[in-house]
């Protein structure tokens, strides 16, 4: 939190549009720029973390390509106040209540060890035909990715068009949740289901086999390159995904990428007739209601309350940010956020 502004809510539609476009042109530099922005937000919000062992040598702070940021509302303060301590890896349990760490430190008052593993994507429910992780279906049998330095042997690459649609059975098989970009995952998954409804109902033609293969191979090449330089938290993560985001909106029939953040006639009309609202869509808090704002005659119907919901969300963002600044005696800054618990920490502790 910086002056009442959470980093993730500063990623407006305008910022993300620019970011994705730059990422398509120069991905590694854009990833580094994003990492620097996260680091800057962390230094401003929690200056004491700069001297914490998690952020000094020999600890290597990888870029956003290789690490998922930690979001917490109290971890930074707990580290500062000593409520929470960070320790190196566990070497072994050496007694009923004692643990030895990899640096030789021993603690003998341990009550429990909680293994926070997170979750992995498991495709084992699909056996034989339709299995996107089957090496026999990959041009190189996954030899290139398995030869990379940082490949996790327990995680398999999934050959999925646009990250979710089966290459073998695009008309009837998809995997929701495996693919994501820099968007709220549940909102993004809803957008994917909207696109699938259009594809599977026949309202939009299915992609050709050649098109699917090119998309999958391009992502595969990116993953192989990334794993050659460092770990990749999730193989389905397309850090930029500009073309996929645009494609999803067009297939789903949301009308968003055709009316906001572009230079189409529809966008000019909206900007000219309702400039204040257009600017709010571009520079305000990115509300999921935008995907139900426009009636396009295809896809899911527009929601009559979408505009009011967008206005309400941005109003609440503004009010709660001002309240935070009053409580912390901070003068008014730029647009703030509704969710005051989203604090970016670039750390994997």
The mean pLDDT value for 115-124 works out to: 82
- Whether 99 maps to a domain, the answer reads no
pLDDT of residue 349: 34
Structure-block tokens of residue 137: 């279906």
**Predicted structure pTM score:** 0.81
- Whether 210 maps to a domain, the answer reads yes
Q: What is the DSSP string of 92-105?
A: EE-SSS-EEETTS-
Cβ neighbours, 10 Å, residue 34? 21
| Contact present, 256 and 303 (Cβ < 8 Å) | no
| Contact present, 277 and 58 (Cβ < 8 Å) | no
- Whether 48 maps to a domain, the answer reads no
Q: Percentage of the chain surpassing pLDDT 70?
A: 91
Q: Which domain holds residue 286?
A: 135-313
pLDDT of residue 11: 77
**In whole numbers, what is the pLDDT of the chain averaged over residues?**
85
Range list of H helices, the chain: 13-25, 27-45, 75-81, 143-146, 185-200, 209-229, 242-252, 256-259, 265-273, 275-283, 306-327
- Whether 153 maps to a domain, the answer reads yes
189 vs 70, residue with greater confidence: 189
State the total domains in the chain.
1
Query: Is 50 exceeded by the pLDDT of residue 136?
Result: yes
pLDDT of residue 184: 75
Query: Is 70 exceeded by the pLDDT of residue 5?
Result: no
Q: What is the CA radius of gyration of the chain?
A: 23
Q: What whole-number distance in Å separates Cα of residue 98 and Cα of residue 212?
A: 54
- Whether 15 maps to a domain, the answer reads no
Per-residue pLDDT tens for 76-103? 889 999 898 888 888 999 999 999 999 8
The mean pLDDT value for 52-70 works out to: 78
pLDDT band with cut points at 50, 70 and 90 for residue 144 = very high
- Whether 171 maps to a domain, the answer reads yes
**Paired strand residues for 2:** 5
The mean pLDDT value for 336-348 works out to: 33
Query: Is 50 exceeded by the pLDDT of residue 319?
Result: yes
- Whether 284 maps to a domain, the answer reads yes
Query: Is 50 exceeded by the pLDDT of residue 200?
Result: yes
- Whether 189 maps to a domain, the answer reads yes
């Amino acid at each position: 939190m910086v002056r009442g502004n959470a980093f993730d809510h500063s990623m407006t539609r305008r910022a993300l549009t620019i970011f994705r476009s730059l990422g398509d042109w120069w991905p590694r530099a854009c990833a580094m720029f994003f990492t620097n922005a996260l680091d800057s937000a962390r230094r401003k919000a929690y200056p004491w973390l700069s001297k914490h062992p998690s952020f000094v040598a020999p600890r290597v702070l990888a870029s956003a390509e290789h690490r998922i940021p930690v979001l917490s509302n109290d971890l930074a303060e707990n580290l500062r106040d000593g409520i929470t301590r960070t320790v190196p890896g566990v070497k072994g349990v050496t007694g009923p209540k004692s643990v030895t760490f990899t640096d030789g430190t021993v603690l003998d008052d341990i009550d429990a060890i909680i293994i926070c593993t997170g979750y992995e994507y498991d495709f084992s429910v699909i056996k034989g035909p339709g299995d996107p992780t089957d090496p026999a279906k990959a041009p190189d049998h996954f030899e290139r990715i398995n030869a990379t330095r940082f490949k996790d042997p327990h995680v398999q690459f999934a050959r999925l068009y646009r990250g979710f649609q089966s290459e073998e059975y695009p008309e009837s098989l998809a995997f929701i949740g495996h693919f994501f970009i820099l968007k709220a995952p549940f909102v993004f998954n809803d957008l994917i289901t909207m696109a699938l409804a259009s594809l599977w109902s026949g309202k939009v033609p299915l992609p050709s086999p050649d098109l699917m293969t090119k998309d999958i191979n391009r992502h595969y090449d990116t993953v192989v390159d990334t794993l050659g330089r460092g770990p990749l938290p999730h193989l389905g993560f397309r850090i930029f995904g500009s073309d996929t985001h645009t494609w999803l909106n067009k297939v789903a029939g949301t009308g968003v990428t055709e009316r906001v953040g572009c230079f189409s006639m529809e966008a000019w009309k909206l900007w000219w007739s309702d400039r204040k609202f257009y600017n709010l869509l571009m520079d305000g808090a990115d509300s999921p209601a935008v995907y139900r704002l426009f009636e396009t005659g295809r896809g899911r119907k527009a929601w009559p309350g979408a505009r009011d919901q967008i206005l309400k969300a941005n109003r609440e963002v503004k009010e709660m940010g001002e309240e935070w600044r009053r409580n912390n005696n901070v003068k008014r800054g730029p647009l703030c956020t509704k969710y005051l618990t989203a604090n970016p920490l670039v750390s994997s502790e």
